[in-house]
Amino acid sequence: MKADPLNLILNDKYLLNKQFYFISGNELTLMQKIKDIIINKLKLANSLSVENIRNISSVKNDIGLFNECKVYIINDLQGVVSEKIDDLSVSDDRFIFFVENSPKIKSLKSIFLKRKDCELFECYELSRESKSKIIKKYIDYIGLEIEDSIYWGLVDKLDNRYKLLENELKKFLELPKKKVGKELIEKIIVKNNEGIEKIFFNILKSNTFLIDYYNKKITNNEDVNRMYFYFKQLCFLIISFNNSKDFEKNIPSYLFREKNFLISLFNKFNHEKRRDVLNLLYNTEKNIRSNGELSSIIGMRFLFKFKKISIS
């Protein structure tokens, strides 16, 4: 069955009584928040230990009187079929599947949607309404007083990504007074970095434009990560199909404005370019993880290497 991530965040009494939890989407920070909440609630209620495994073939099927129940975190859907899920359901363990959206997982999601012992959370960037509810809960909790006109300005100013939103809200805890005005908000809230994703759709523009746009939008490691994972998501979409007709059918509806650009870019990628992009993604992610302090430089290099592959 499908569940609302916002309900889990806002409702402290949300009851987690399922055996399987499937977390997907393209907003990684919200996905991570949902995973953390589920793990903490399950551990608190059932005294379960946590084990990260690659796929369900790594699950130990030992059933005995003194075996410790676990929460398994699974990041790969290899081997997931209805029969295997049925086999796992006889244990007292809990299973959290944590997988980014891709065309390949669409059919697998349907397995979990049909099950009564599963909750499926789809995580995307927060809407204005969702963001408002999170902000309201937070300011009510710490007892802040904000005028309505200022409040809605704050909602629009804060980021649509959960983790960045949460980080900004935490700054209010340090305020010496509980009544907040516009001037104080301007001082403590950083500029919203919406528009990072647009770098992808401007990749074929001039190098001068890309450098200027990159420097305006990419200011820290989190920005680099966001840009990289957005590129990764769309690259996987492109290389998952062999013909433009199938590719066009699977372009997400929220990208309708960029549909023509995506089809044009898809047509530029032959087998060799697809291989080169996969290698570029692998090497870039490895470099970002091991050289975090240089991520801004790594991000810039990645941008121009991707452009070179695209236009070659």
Mind listing the pLDDT tens digit for each residue in 216-241?
A: 888 888 888 888 988 998 999 898 88
Residue 280 confidence (pLDDT) = 94
Q: What pairs with residue 72 in β-bridges?
A: 51, 95
Quickly state the pLDDT bin for 122 (edges 50, 70, 90): very high
Helices (H), the chain: 5-10, 28-46, 82-88, 106-113, 128-142, 148-157, 162-170, 182-188, 198-201, 207-217, 221-239, 244-249, 259-266, 271-290, 295-311
Mean pLDDT for the stretch of residues 139-160:
83
Geometric angle at alpha carbon 124, from 234 and 258, rounded to 5°: 40
**pTM exceeding 0.75:** no
Mean pLDDT for the stretch of residues 154-172:
83
Residue 73 confidence (pLDDT) = 92
Mean pLDDT for the stretch of residues 129-147:
88
Geometric angle at alpha carbon 158, from 154 and 164, rounded to 5°: 145
Quickly state the pLDDT bin for 59 (edges 50, 70, 90): confident
Q: How far is residue 78 from each of residues 49, 75, 242, 303, measured CA to CA in Å?
A: 23, 9, 21, 31
d(C-alpha 152, C-alpha 146), whole Å: 10
Is the pLDDT higher at 96 or at 57? 96
d(C-alpha 235, C-alpha 151), whole Å: 38
Residue 144 confidence (pLDDT) = 82
Query: Which phi and psi (to 5°) does residue 269 adopt?
Result: -100, 110
Quickly state the pLDDT bin for 191 (edges 50, 70, 90): low
Residue with token string 């980014």? 100
Quickly state the pLDDT bin for 65 (edges 50, 70, 90): very low
Pull the structure tokens for residue 271. 């087998």
Q: Is 276's pLDDT higher than 60?
A: yes
Percent of the chain with pLDDT over 90: 36
d(C-alpha 119, C-alpha 16), whole Å: 9
- pLDDT tens digits, residue range 91-118? 888 999 998 887 778 888 888 988 999 9
Residue 204 confidence (pLDDT) = 92
